[in-house]
């Protein structure tokens, strides 16, 4: 039996309705005034409203948050004027009162005169995805904060390790390791500038006997006072005072000639003696004293920085041999 046109159209309508109801997306069709004329099963499931409950009503009268109504009306006005935003997002309020975030895509159906008669809106519930994104963003921010804190802690720890690696724990001045690095650096700089470089090796006179007499605690305190005195007496930023080992101190003096180096050495000896640190059993007096060997050179070969160290050490040895509590300038016959 032939199918009539009415039956065909009814069949087509039923197929269209079935398609609308099996898709997971929210679909609603509105007339030019925004009244709902179709509300699929997914929309019913999401909102908790049946089609009969919303039929003939506008979405902003049923689902839209009050603070978003003006924005939704503005989008709808654009749609009916033929200006289609690619998409827009707004919240829907369900019958139970919960809020869902919907991402919309829109299209239209026009009449014979080309005027828009229906708006078809297709929406995807992105609430869970958005919540997950916000949680991820929150987690990332927390993670960034934790990483920043850990990085700051690590940097601080590295700074402390660097200090420990460079600073002598007893005296608070630079240690021998840093002195060796600094001497090599300053020697190379002196090679470039073609200027002199002076080095002092200082030794606390009869310090072993001082420790035996007053004890190691007093000995450490004495070394700290001497270190501080030497460090404070050096005025130029380029100069460096370090504990070389035991009761020995070393002073690097870039750009200082032999005459000025000897003047400084004698002043340092006077300042240490002027501290009047008691040492009644000292063979050279009743206070702690210092012997200093001074060497001044023109830097030539990169590896020869050890030569000035050896020269200052020889001068110190001669100062000790000549009675201590004095400064001695290095010369070839020292």
Whether 269 is covered by a domain: the verdict is yes
Residues 45 and 115 reside in one and the same domain? yes
Asked if residue 151 and residue 89 are part of one domain, the reply reads no
Which tens digit of pLDDT belongs to each residue from 174-200? Answer: 999 999 999 999 999 999 999 999 999
Residue 46: inside a domain:
yes
For residues 22 and 162, membership in a common domain is answered with no
For residues 11 and 26, state if they share a domain. yes
Which of 268, 265, 241, 239 has the alpha carbon at shortest distance from 254?
239
Whether residue 148 is contained in a domain is answered as yes
Residues belonging to the chain: 334
Residues 319 and 327: beta-carbon distance below 8 Å: yes
CATH number at residue 244: 3.30.70.270
What CATH number is attached to the domain comprising 55? 3.30.450.20
In percent, the amount of the chain with pLDDT more than 90 equals 51
- 192, part of any domain: yes
**pLDDT at residue 108 tops 90:** no
Query: What are the residue numbers of the active site?
Result: 247
Q: Does pLDDT of 131 surpass 50?
A: yes
Q: Does residue 84 surpass a pLDDT of 60?
A: yes
- What mean pLDDT do residues 74-86 have? 79
| Residue at 334 is within a domain | no
- Asked whether residue 108 falls in the same domain as residue 132, the answer is no
Task: For residues 110 and 37, state if they share a domain.
Answer: yes
Domain co-membership, 103 together with 157: no
Q: How confident is the model at residue 5 (pLDDT cuts 50, 70, 90)?
A: very low
In sequence order, which residues have a C-beta less than 8 Å from that of residue 136 and are 6 or more positions away? none
Q: In angstroms, what CA-CA distances link 326 with 125, 200, 242? A: 90, 12, 20
Count structural domains, the chain: 3
CA atoms of 232 and 271, how far apart (whole Å): 10
User: Pairing mode, if any, of strands 196-204 and 240-245?
Assistant: unpaired
Residues 23 and 89 in one domain: yes
Does 232 lie in the same domain as 139?
Answer: no
Q: Could you tell me if 158 and 260 lie in one domain?
A: no
Return the pLDDT at 334: 53
Asked if residue 133 and residue 114 are part of one domain, the reply reads no
Q: Is residue 171, in this structure, part of any structural domain at all?
A: no
User: What is the DSSP annotation of 28-49?
Assistant: EEEETT--EEEE-HHHHHHHS-
> Is 150 a domain residue?
yes
DSSP 195-244: -EEEEEEEEETTHHHHHHHH-HHHHHHHHHHHHHHHHHH--STT-EEEEE
Containing domain of residue 247, as a range? Answer: 176-329
């Amino acid at each position: 039996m032939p199918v009539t046109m009415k039956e065909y159209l009814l069949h087509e309508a039923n197929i269209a309705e079935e398609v609308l109801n099996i898709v997971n997306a929210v679909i609603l069709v509105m007339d030019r005034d925004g009244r709902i004329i179709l509300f699929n099963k997914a929309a019913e499931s999401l909102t908790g409203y049946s089609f009969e409950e919303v039929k003939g009503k506008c979405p902003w009268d049923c689902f839209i948050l009050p603070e978003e109504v003006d924005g939704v009306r503005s989008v709808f006005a654009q749609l009916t004027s033929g200006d289609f935003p690619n998409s827009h997002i707004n919240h829907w309020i369900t019958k139970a009162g919960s809020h869902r975030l919907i991402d919309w895509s829109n299209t239209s159906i026009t009449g014979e005169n080309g005027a828009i008669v229906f708006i078809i809106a297709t929406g995807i519930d992105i609430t869970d995805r958005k919540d997950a994104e916000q949680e991820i963003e929150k987690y990332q921010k927390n993670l960034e904060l934790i990483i920043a804190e850990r990085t700051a802690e690590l940097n601080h720890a590295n700074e402390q390790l660097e200090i420990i690696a460079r600073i002598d724990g007893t005296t608070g001045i630079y240690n021998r390791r840093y002195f060796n690095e600094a001497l090599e650096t300053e020697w190379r700089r002196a090679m470039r500038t073609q200027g002199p470089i002076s080095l002092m090796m200082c030794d606390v006179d009869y310090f072993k006997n001082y420790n035996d007499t007053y004890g190691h605690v007093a000995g450490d305190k004495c070394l700290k006072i001497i270190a501080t005195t030497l460090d404070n007496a050096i005025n130029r930023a380029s100069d460096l005072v370090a504990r070389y080992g035991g009761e020995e101190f070393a002073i690097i003096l870039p750009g200082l000639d032999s005459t000025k180096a000897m003047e400084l050495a004698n002043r340092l000896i006077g300042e240490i003696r002027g501290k009047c640190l008691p040492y009644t059993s000292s063979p050279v007096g009743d206070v702690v004293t210092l012997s200093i060997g001074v060497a001044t050179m023109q830097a030539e070969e990169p590896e020869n920085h050890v030569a000035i160290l050896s020269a200052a050490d020889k001068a110190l040895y001669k100062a000790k041999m000549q009675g201590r509590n004095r400064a001695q300038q290095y010369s070839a016959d020292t």
